[in-house]
C-alpha cells in the first residue's frame, strides 16, 4: 500500500468541510492550524513550526510521552480484549487509583470517555436514591450524551430548554456571581441557594437524586468555588436523600498541584459519593472511570442487570492508565504544577496591575483563568478583546482559548510539563499584545472594540 501524499492545509480543510459535520468546530476557524505531530507541551504544524500548547489538558503528562507510548505498544503486542476475562491490568489499575482517593470510594467502573462516565454516574445516583431530579450549576457542561445535555445548561439553553427534573443553582463565583468577594459569608449564601432549590422542588413533589458538579467549573469560566461550599451543599443534598457527584474530568490527576483531586481543595472533611474521571486519565487514549462506594455499587447491582462496556477497562487502556500514574509520580508533576502554576499566577497578577482589561486572575496549580473586562466597576465581559488576544497569540505560536458564559476568560490548562520558561514566554507575549491594544485604542479615540 502506497503512503498517502502530503496534503496542503487548504486541501485538508476542504476535505474536512466536505466530509465532517459542520457542528464539529475547529479552533481558530477563520485560519485553522494543521497539526501533524506533538511532543511534551509543544505541537508542530505541517511546515514544522512549533506552537506552545496552553490548553490541552488531555495530553496530561505531555504529548506523545515515551513511557505512555511504550506501555500502549507493549500491551498491544500481547493482548487487547474485554473485561469479561481475568487480567491483572484491570485490578492493578483499580488498586492504584484507590490509593489516590478517600477510603470509602473503593469501587470502580471503567469506560471510554468522560461522557460515558457521567452518564453512568447519573444512573448510579438514580438507582441508589430511587429519585430522579438533579441539581447542577449554571453554565455547566457534563458531556454530549442526551442524558448529559439535559443537565448541561451550557448546552440545553440553546436546544430544547430545561427539563422539569433539572434544577440550576448559581455558580459559586466570588468575582462575577451573586455573592462576591466582599460578601460576609459567600459560602453559606451560595449553599443556601441550593437549599432553597431543594425546598422548592419538594413543594412540587420532586425528589433529588444528585447534586452534579465539576470540582472546578471550567466551561463556566475557570471558577474556584470557595472552600467549604461543597460540604454545606452536601449536607443539604444528603438530607434530601440525594448524593454528591464530583466531576473531575477536566481537573483531576494532580492538575491543581497541592492535591491529586480538585474536590480535595474543599478540605479533608469533604468526600463525594461518586467521582467521575476522563480526559487526562489516558493522556489522549480513550479511557474514563467512575469511582463510588460499596453501598451505591451494590444498589446498582441489585437490579440484576449486567453493566458491560465493550472496551472499558481493556488491558491496553489499563496499561496506559497505570503508565500515566507512574509518570505523574516519577516526574513529580503535582509539585511541578504547584511551582509553575504559582509562578504563572504571579506573572499574570503583575499584568493585572498594568493592564485594566484584566479584571481577575484566578486558579490553582495549572488550572488558571484570566477574566478580561470592559470596565472595572461593572466587570462587563470583553469577548471581542479576548478573541482578538488569542488570535494574536496564535500568530506568535501560542495556543490559548477562551471560556465562560461571556467567552471572555482566557483558560490555561496546559500539559503538566509546561515550565517556567513557557510561562514567561506566554506572559511577555500577552503583555506586548495588550500594550499594542491599548495604544490602538488611544489612537482610535476609544472605538467600540476598546476596553481601556
The architecture CATH gives domain 66-331: 3-Layer(aba) Sandwich (3.40)
The string of pLDDT tens digits covering residues 14-26 is 999 999 999 999 9
**pLDDT at res. 266:** 98
**198 band by pLDDT with thresholds 50, 70 and 90:** very high
- pLDDT average, residue stretch 9-14: 94
Q: What are phi and psi of 398, to 5 degrees?
A: -125, 125
**160 band by pLDDT with thresholds 50, 70 and 90:** confident
- Where does 332-447 sit in CATH, by number? 3.90.1150.10
Rounded Cα gap, residues 434 and 373, in angstroms: 13
**pLDDT at res. 2:** 59
**pLDDT at res. 159:** 87
**pLDDT at res. 362:** 98
Domain residue spans of the chain: 66-331, 332-447
User: Could you tell me how far CA 46 lies from the centroid of its own chain?
Assistant: 28
**pLDDT at res. 157:** 86
The residue whose grid cell reads 476475562 is: 85
The string of pLDDT tens digits covering residues 68-122 is 999 999 999 999 999 999 999 999 999 999 999 999 999 999 999 999 999 999 9
**444 band by pLDDT with thresholds 50, 70 and 90:** low
Name 452's Cβ contacts closer than 8 Å, sequence gap at least 6.
Answer: 355, 356, 357, 437, 438, 441
- 332-447 has the same fold as 66-331: no
Is the pLDDT reported for residue 446 higher than 70? Answer: no
**329 band by pLDDT with thresholds 50, 70 and 90:** very high
**442 band by pLDDT with thresholds 50, 70 and 90:** low
- pLDDT average, residue stretch 47-65: 97
The string of pLDDT tens digits covering residues 417-435 is 999 999 999 999 999 999 9
Instruction: Return the closest-CA partner of residue 217 out of 150, 156, 139, 163.
Output: 139
Q: What are phi and psi of 201, to 5 degrees?
A: -65, -40
**pLDDT at res. 230:** 98
Instruction: Return the closest-CA partner of residue 417 out of 42, 100, 35.
Output: 42
**pLDDT at res. 443:** 66
Amino acid at each position: 500500500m502506497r503512503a498517502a501524499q502530503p496534503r496542503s492545509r487548504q486541501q485538508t480543510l476542504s476535505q474536512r468541510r466536505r466530509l465532517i459535520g459542520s457542528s464539529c468546530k475547529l479552533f481558530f476557524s477563520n485560519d485553522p492550524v494543521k497539526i501533524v505531530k506533538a511532543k511534551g507541551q509543544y505541537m508542530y504544524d505541517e511546515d514544522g513550526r512549533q506552537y506552545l500548547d496552553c490548553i490541552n489538558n488531555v495530553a496530561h503528562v505531555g504529548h506523545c510521552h515515551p513511557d505512555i507510548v511504550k506501555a500502549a505498544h507493549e500491551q498491544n503486542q500481547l493482548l487487547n480484549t474485554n473485561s469479561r476475562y481475568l487480567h491483572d491490568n484491570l485490578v492493578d489499575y483499580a488498586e492504584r487509583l484507590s490509593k489516590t482517593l478517600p477510603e470509602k470510594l473503593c469501587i470502580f467502573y471503567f469506560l471510554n470517555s468522560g461522557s460515558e462516565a457521567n452518564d453512568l454516574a447519573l444512573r448510579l445516583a438514580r438507582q441508589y436514591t430511587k429519585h430522579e431530579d438533579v441539581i447542577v450549576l449554571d453554565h455547566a457542561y457534563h458531556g454530549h450524551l442526551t442524558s448529559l445535555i439535559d443537565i448541561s445548561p451550557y448546552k440545553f439553553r440553546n436546544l430544547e430548554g430545561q427539563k422539569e427534573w433539572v434544577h440550576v443553582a448559581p455558580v459559586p463565583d466570588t468575582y462575577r456571581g451573586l455573592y462576591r468577594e466582599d460578601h460576609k459569608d459567600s459560602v453559606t449564601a451560595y449553599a443556601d441557594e441550593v437549599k432553597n432549590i431543594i425546598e422548592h422542588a419538594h413543594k412540587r413533589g420532586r425528589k433529588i437524586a444528585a447534586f452534579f458538579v465539576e470540582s472546578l467549573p471550567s466551561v463556566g469560566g475557570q471558577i474556584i468555588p470557595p472552600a467549604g461550599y461543597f460540604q454545606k451543599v452536601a449536607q443539604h443534598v444528603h438530607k434530601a436523600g440525594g448524593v454528591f457527584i464530583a466531576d473531575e474530568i477536566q481537573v483531576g490527576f494532580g492538575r491543581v498541584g497541592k492535591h491529586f483531586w480538585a474536590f480535595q481543595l474543599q478540605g479533608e472533611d469533604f468526600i463525594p459519593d461518586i467521582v467521575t474521571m476522563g480526559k487526562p486519565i489516558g493522556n489522549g487514549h480513550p479511557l474514563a472511570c467512575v469511582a463510588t462506594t460499596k453501598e451505591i455499587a451494590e444498589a446498582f447491582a441489585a437490579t440484576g442487570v449486567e453493566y458491560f462496556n465493550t472496551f472499558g477497562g481493556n488491558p491496553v487502556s489499563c496499561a496506559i492508565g497505570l503508565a500515566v500514574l507512574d509518570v505523574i509520580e516519577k516526574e513529580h508533576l503535582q509539585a511541578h504544577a504547584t511551582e509553575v502554576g504559582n509562578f504563572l499566577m504571579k506573572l499574570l497578577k503583575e499584568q493585572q496591575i498594568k493592564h485594566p482589561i484584566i479584571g481577575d486572575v484566578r486558579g490553582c496549580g495549572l488550572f488558571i483563568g484570566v477574566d478580561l473586562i470592559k470596565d472595572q466597576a461593572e466587570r462587563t465581559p470583553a469577548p471581542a478583546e479576548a478573541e482578538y488576544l488569542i488570535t494574536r497569540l496564535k500568530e506568535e505560536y501560542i495556543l490559548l482559548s477562551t471560556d465562560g458564559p461571556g467567552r471572555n476568560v482566557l483558560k490555561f490548562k496546559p500539559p503538566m510539563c509546561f515550565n517556567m520558561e513557557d510561562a514567561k514566554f506566554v506572559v511577555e507575549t500577552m503583555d506586548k499584545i495588550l500594550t499594542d491594544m491599548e495604544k490602538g485604542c488611544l489612537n482610535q479615540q476609544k472605538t467600540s472594540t476598546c476596553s481601556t
